[in-house]
């Protein structure tokens, strides 16, 4: 059986066709311009592919509450053309097949849980650190939505006294995204992250902020694995720094077999940047089960 997958991002839309084993058979990309144009490209792509269902891992905030009148909508996004856009309804009308729908980061996590490094774990966390910071969460084998959906990038982590940078978040002066996203690194040091690769103090501070956040997520969600993706994490030296600072900050308060094996607890994304599209395939599969 074939499934469609849409990774809906604020700058591009990745469309793919795959199967239940996680094979991606073909892929296409379209720029995210305004809804009528972009959706025509997307529905045109999927129309004759004989897919049984489509999964959508979507930028947000989005409405995931199936009892809500605006279920399937992109809601209060700063991308004004997409604000209050009924993306699920539009796809359902054009394609007439079941549509699975979740956040982009829940999609990435679902990809890792289904086909990647978190296979069969009931409780896991995926965090992406790039232009923004966001995360997907699974608890008791199910993706977490709750009141809305997690907004992990905006937890308050306390600005270090020696940090001369300024938060890039328009809402918060000391949230994780404001102090540790790609743009915040660039603003603080005056260069892009990639040009700062050899400068230790850049990554010491970055790892300190990220490790503080991971300790808080760990104590709150108790995941069995934490997966880190996104552009900033291409700086591979970060992993070792983050793991050491995580242990330092946890200070032995929690003892579990998972934390004893920290190299397998805090890990990079494992699916060559296909975790989102693979998660969308699983969302499509689950939509047939009425999940």
Is residue 102 a contact point for a second copy (CB under 8 A)?
A: no
Sign of CA dihedral 56, 61, 66, 68: negative
Among 56, 152, 168, 280, binds a second copy (CB under 8 A): 152
CB of 286 to a second copy, least distance (A): 14
In the set 120, 147, 261, 272, which binds a second copy (CB under 8 A)?
A: 147
Q: Is 79 in the site for a second copy (CB under 8 A)?
A: no
Residue 223 interacts with a second copy (CB under 8 A): yes or no: yes
Among 194, 199, 219, 240, binds a second copy (CB under 8 A): 219
Between 147 and 236, CB nearer to a second copy: 147
Q: Judged by CB, which is closer to a second copy: 79, or 154?
A: 154
Residues 6 or more apart whose Cβ sits within 8 Å of residue 142: none
Spatial strand order of the sheet with 142-143 comes to 142-143, 133-139, 124-129, 226-229, 266-268
Among 11, 76, 237, 264, binds a second copy (CB under 8 A): 76
By CB under 8 A, name the binding residues for a second copy: 61, 76, 122-123, 137, 139-140, 142, 144-152, 154-159, 161, 171-172, 174, 212, 215-224, 249, 251-256, 258-259
């Amino acid at each position: 059986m074939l499934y469609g997958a849409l990774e809906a991002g604020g700058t591009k839309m990745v469309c793919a066709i795959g199967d239940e084993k996680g094979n991606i058979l073909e892929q296409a990309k379209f720029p995210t311009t305004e809804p009528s144009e972009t959706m025509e490209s997307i529905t045109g792509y999927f129309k004759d592919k004989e897919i049984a269902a489509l999964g959508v891992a979507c930028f947000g905030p989005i409405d995931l509450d199936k009892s809500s009148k605006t279920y399937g909508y992109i809601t209060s996004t700063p991308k004004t053309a997409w604000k209050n856009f009924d993306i699920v309804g539009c796809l359902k009308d054009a394609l007439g097949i079941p549509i699975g729908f979740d956040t982009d980061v829940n999609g990435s996590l679902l990809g890792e849980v289904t086909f990647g490094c978190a296979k069969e774990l009931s409780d896991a966390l995926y965090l992406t650190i790039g232009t923004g910071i966001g995360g997907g969460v699974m608890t008791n084998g199910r993706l977490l939505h709750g009141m809305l959906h997690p907004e992990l990038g905006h937890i308050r982590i306390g600005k270090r006294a020696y940090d001369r940078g300024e938060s890039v978040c328009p809402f918060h002066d000391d949230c994780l995204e404001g102090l540790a996203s790609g743009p915040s690194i660039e603003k603080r040091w005056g260069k892009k992250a990639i040009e700062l690769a050899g400068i230790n103090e850049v990554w010491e501070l970055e790892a300190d902020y990220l490790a503080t956040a991971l300790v808080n997520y760990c104590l709150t969600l108790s995941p069995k694995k934490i997966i880190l993706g996104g552009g900033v994490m291409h700086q591979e030296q970060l992993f070792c720094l983050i793991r050491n600072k995580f242990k330092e900050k946890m200070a032995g308060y929690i003892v579990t077999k998972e934390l004893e094996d920290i190299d397998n607890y805090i890990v990079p994304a494992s699916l060559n940047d296909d975790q989102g599209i693979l998660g969308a395939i699983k969302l499509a599969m689950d939509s047939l089960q009425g999940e």
